[in-house]
C-alpha cells in the first residue's frame, strides 16, 4: 500500500525536523509492505510574509484531495500584533476537522523528583473552546478605555467525540500494556476529565457531563476503564506532584494546550514530545515544540518529537506495527543515551540522532 | 490602632486553619502597637446547604461596613451540579472589587530538581476574564445536542490596574531584596506578562498591550523593573523548567488560577502557599489550598498557608513590619524542620505547628 504524505515544514526548525520525519518513513523495513509518496506544502509566518496568507488554499486542498496524512513542523508567531495573520495550524485543525490533539508524554528514565515512570497521554479537543476565535472589541462606558470579549464555545457533539476517542485510546493502551507485560502491566486504565465546572457551570459543566456519559459506555466499562475527574488548576498541581498516577487525560482545547506543555516539562524537553491532530480517517503528526528561532539553521534540533509524531500519525492511519517500530527505535536511542541532541544534554546533531534511530528500526 | 478582621472559615479544614490565623494575630508582640478585634462570618457550601445562599448578604455588608480586612478559609464545591450554588469567594472578590489575587511562592530549601531558590509571586487579575460567568446554553442546529458559551471579558481598566499593582510589587520586592542582601540581592527585578495573544488577539492582545504600557511607566523603568512576556502554555513549561528565573508574573484571572496551583506544586505543598485578595484599602487573606475533606476534622491541616496569608493581608493593610515578623517566624519553623505537618512529611498537628511559629514571633 502507498500512503501519500503532505510535508508542511513551516518555520524555523520545522524545516530541519520535517525532513527527518520523511527520512524515517523512507527507512521503514520493506517487510511492512508500506510505501510512501510525498508532497511539499507551504504554511507559516514566512509564507505569510511572502504571500499575505499563512495557510494557502492549495495546502488545504492538496491535503484533502491527495493525502492520507501529513507532517507539520512548527510556526513562528509574529512578535508584534500583525494584521491579517492567524495561526495556520489552528486553521488547519478546523478546516480538516481534526478534532483530537493527542499528546503522549513518557519519561525516559526515573529521576529523583519522579521515581515512578511517567506514561500518560493528553487528549485535547481541537476544534472549539476559545479557539473558535470569535472576538470583538468595544469602548467601555464612561470612557474607561476598551473592552474585548471572546467566546468560549463547548458543544455536546465535540465533547462526546473527544471523550470517546479518549476512551478508545485508554482501551488500546491497556491492550498494549498487557501485551508488553512487566511493570507497566500493573498500571490502572483511567480517563481523567479536566474542567473548571466549579466556575463555568454551563460550558465546562457540559463538557464534564458529556464526557462522563461517553465514558460510561459499556465497551469502556467492560474494558475496565475507570472514570476520574480533576478541576484544571488542581490537575496542573497533581500533574506535577503525582504524574505517574495518570493514564489518559481528556480536556477542552485551551486546558489541553496548557496541560500538554506542562506535561512536556516533566519529561525533560519539549523536543521529545509528539502530537497528532486526528480526525476521521486523517492524521497530521506535529512535534509539540515551536519553531525555536534561537537554534534554527544550526542542525542541532532534536528530531525525536517529530519521529514520534510520525509514529502517532501512522498509528491513527491504522499502521500500528510500523508505529511500534519507530517508538522502539527511539526508546532504544534514548535508553542508550549516547547520541543525544543538546537539549538532552548531549552533543549529537539532528542527522546523527536520526541515523542512530534509523539503524535501530 | 485596632484593626477589625472578618473571619470566614468556610468549609472543611477552613474551620481549622482560620482559628490559627486569629491566634497569630493575637500573639503579635504588643510593641507593634496593633490591636485586633474579630467578627465571625458565614460563607460556603455548608452555609448554602443550610440557608440556600453560599454568600450571605450579611457577610458582604459586615465586611464593607465594619472591617479593615478579612481571612477566608476554603470552600467545598458540590460534587454534582447544584442549582443556585455559586462560589462565594469568586462573588466576594467581585462584590468588594478585590481586583488582585497575589500569590507568593517560595521554596523551603534547594532540591535536586530545583537547586536554585524559587521566589516568585503570581499577580492574578481577580474580577473578570471567564470569571464574569456570563454563560448561555442553546440547542445545536440539526439536533446535535446542546451548545454552551461563556464570555471571556478583558478590559483595559482592569488590565492596567493589575499590571500597575504587579509593577509596584516588583519594586517593593526589589527594595526588600536590597535590604536583606545575600544571594537574593542578585535577583533581577522583572514582571512577566502571561497571555495567549497568538490565538486570542483581541482579548489577550488587549491584556498584553495594556500591561506593557502600564509597566513602561517611568517609575517602574527608573526602579529597574524589566518587562518580559510568555505565552501561557510556554509559561507553564518554563515555570517547571526554570522557576528560579521568574520574579513577578502577571496574568488574567484564569491563567493566574492555573499558574498559581502549578507554582504551588513546585514548592512541595499547597499547604504552604498563601494568597491575598486585594482592592483599594481592603485585603482578604486566603490560603491557596481547598477544603480538603479527606483530612477535615483530624487536626492535621498545615496552617502555614493561612499564617502567611495573614502576613500578606497585613502587608496590604500597610502593616509591613507585622507581616515581616510572621514570615520570619514561619521561615524559621520550616528551616528547622522539626515541627512539620503530615503534608510536609512531618507528624506535627496543626496546633503544634502554630505554637512553634508563635514562639518564634
Ligand atoms: C501555536 C499555537 C497556536 C498552538 C496552540 O495553542 O494550539 C500551540 O501552542 C500548540 O499547542 O500547538
Ligand atoms: C474555588 C475556585 C472557584 C477558586 C478559583 O478558581 O478562583 C480557587 O481555585 C482559587 O484559586 O481560589
B338 and B203 in a single domain? The answer is no
HEC profile of A283-331: EEECCCCCCCCCCCCCCCCCCHHHHHHHHHHHHHCCCHHHHHHHHHHHH
Instruction: Out of B245, B266, B287, pick the residue that ends a domain.
Output: B266
Ligand 2 pocket at CB < 6 A: A 198-199, 233; B 87, 89-90, 257
Q: What is the average pLDDT across A117-133?
A: 96
> Which residues in chain A touch residue B155, judged by CB atoms under 8 angstroms apart?
140, 144-148
Q: What is the average pLDDT across B76-89?
A: 84
Q: Is B199 in the pocket of ligand 1 (CB under 6 A)?
A: yes
Residue A23 lies inside a defined structural domain of this protein? yes
Instruction: Out of A225, A245, A266, pick the residue that ends a domain.
Output: A266
Share of chain B above pLDDT 70, in %: 99
pTM over the 0.85 mark: yes
Q: In CATH, what number is assigned to the domain containing residue B255?
A: 3.40.718.10
Range of the domain at A302: 1-98+275-361
How many A from CA of A256 to the centre of ligand 1?
10
Question: Could you tell me the pLDDT band of residue B185, with boundaries at 50, 70 and 90?
Answer: confident
Task: Please name the residue of chain A whose CA is at the shortest distance from the CA of residue B90.
Answer: A199
Label residue B89 exposed, middle or buried (CB < 10 Å: 0-12, 13-18, 19+).
buried
Query: Looking at the predicted structure, is the pLDDT value of residue B138 above 90?
Result: yes
A248 and A145 in a single domain? The answer is yes
Residue A104 lies inside a defined structural domain of this protein? no
pLDDT in tens, B93-114: 999 999 999 999 998 888 888 8
The per-residue pLDDT for A26 is 97
Q: Is A160 in the pocket of ligand 1 (CB under 6 A)?
A: no
Exposure string over B309-339, b if 16+ CB within 10 A, otherwise e: bbbbbbbbbebeebbebbbebbbebbeeeeb
Q: Of A242-256, B46-60, B78-92, B95-109, which range is least confident?
A: B78-92
The per-residue pLDDT for A111 is 83
B100 and B16 in a single domain? The answer is yes
A236 and A130 in a single domain? The answer is yes
pLDDT in tens, A284-326: 999 999 999 999 999 999 999 999 999 999 999 999 999 999 9
Instruction: Out of B266, B296, B324, pick the residue that ends a domain.
Output: B266
pLDDT in tens, A259-271: 999 999 998 788 9
Which residue in B104, B138, B79, B96 sits closest to B304, CA to CA? B104
A240 and A352 in a single domain? The answer is no
A120 and A231 in a single domain? The answer is yes
How many A from CA of B231 to the centre of ligand 1?
10
B148 and B275 in a single domain? The answer is no
The phi, psi pair for A247, rounded to 5°, reads -120, -75
B117 and B261 in a single domain? The answer is yes
A114 and A253 in a single domain? The answer is yes
Query: Looking at the predicted structure, is the pLDDT value of residue A114 above 90?
Result: no
Inter-chain CB proximity B148 and A205 less than 8 Å: yes
**Is the pLDDT higher at A268 or at B294?**
B294
DSSP, collapsed to helix, strand or coil, labels residue A6 as strand
Nearest by CB to A237, which of B232, B237, B261?
B261
Q: What is the average pLDDT across A67-93?
A: 90
Q: What is the average pLDDT across A30-55?
A: 96
B228 and B348 in a single domain? The answer is no
A121 and A243 in a single domain? The answer is yes
How many structural domains are present in chain B? 2
A174 and A57 in a single domain? The answer is no
Mean per-residue pLDDT of chain A: 94
pLDDT in tens, A156-208: 999 999 999 999 999 999 988 888 776 677 788 999 999 999 999 999 999 99
Amino acid at each position: 500500500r502507498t500512503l501519500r504524505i503532505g510535508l508542511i515544514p513551516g518555520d524555523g526548525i520545522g524545516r530541519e525536523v520535517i525532513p527527518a520525519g520523511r527520512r524515517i518513513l523512507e527507512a521503514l523495513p520493506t517487510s511492512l509492505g508500506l510505501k510512501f509518496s510525498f508532497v511539499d506544502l507551504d504554511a507559516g509566518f514566512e509564507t505569510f510574509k511572502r504571500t499575505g496568507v499563512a495557510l494557502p488554499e492549495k495546502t488545504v486542498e492538496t491535503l484533502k484531495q491527495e493525502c492520507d496524512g501529513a507532517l507539520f513542523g512548527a510556526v513562528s508567531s509574529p512578535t508584534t500584533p500583525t494584521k491579517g495573520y492567524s495561526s495556520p495550524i489552528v486553521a488547519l485543525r478546523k478546516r480538516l476537522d481534526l478534532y483530537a490533539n493527542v499528546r503522549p508524554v513518557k519519561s525516559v528514565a526515573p529521576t529523583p523528583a519522579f521515581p515512578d515512570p511517567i506514561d500518560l497521554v493528553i487528549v485535547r479537543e481541537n476544534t472549539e473552546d476559545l479557539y473558535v476565535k470569535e472576538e470583538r472589541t468595544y469602548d467601555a462606558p464612561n470612557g474607561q478605555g476598551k473592552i474585548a470579549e471572546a467566546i468560549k464555545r463547548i458543544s455536546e457533539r465535540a465533547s462526546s467525540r473527544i471523550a470517546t476517542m479518549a476512551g478508545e485510546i485508554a482501551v488500546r493502551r491497556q491492550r498494549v500494556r498487557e501485551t508488553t507485560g512487566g511493570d507497566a502491566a500493573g498500571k490502572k486504565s483511567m480517563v481523567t476529565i479536566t474542567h473548571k465546572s466549579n466556575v463555568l457551570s454551563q460550558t465546562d459543566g457540559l463538557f464534564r457531563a458529556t464526557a462522563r456519559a461517553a465514558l460510561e459506555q459499556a465497551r469502556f466499562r467492560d474494558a475496565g476503564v475507570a472514570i476520574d475527574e480533576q478541576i484544571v488548576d488542581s490537575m496542573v498541581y497533581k500533574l506535577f506532584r503525582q504524574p505517574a498516577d495518570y493514564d489518559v487525560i481528556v480536556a477542552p482545547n485551551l486546558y489541553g494546550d496548557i496541560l500538554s506543555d506542562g506535561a512536556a516539562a516533566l519529561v525533560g524537553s519539549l523536543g521529545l514530545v509528539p502530537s497528532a491532530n486526528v480526525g476521521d480517517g486523517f492524521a497530521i503528526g506535529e512535534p509539540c515544540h515551536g519553531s525555536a528561532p534561537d537554534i534554527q539553521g544550526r542542525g542541532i534540533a532534536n528530531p525525536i518529537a517529530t519521529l514520534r509524531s510520525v509514529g502517532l500519525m501512522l498509528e491513527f492511519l491504522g499502521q500500528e506495527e510500523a508505529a511500534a517500530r519507530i517508538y522502539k527505535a527511539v526508546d532504544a536511542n534514548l535508553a542508550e543515551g549516547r547520541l543525544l541532541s543538546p537539549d538532552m544534554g548531549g552533543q549529537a546533531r539532528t542527522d546523527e540522532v536520526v541515523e542512530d534511530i534509523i539503524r535501530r528500526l
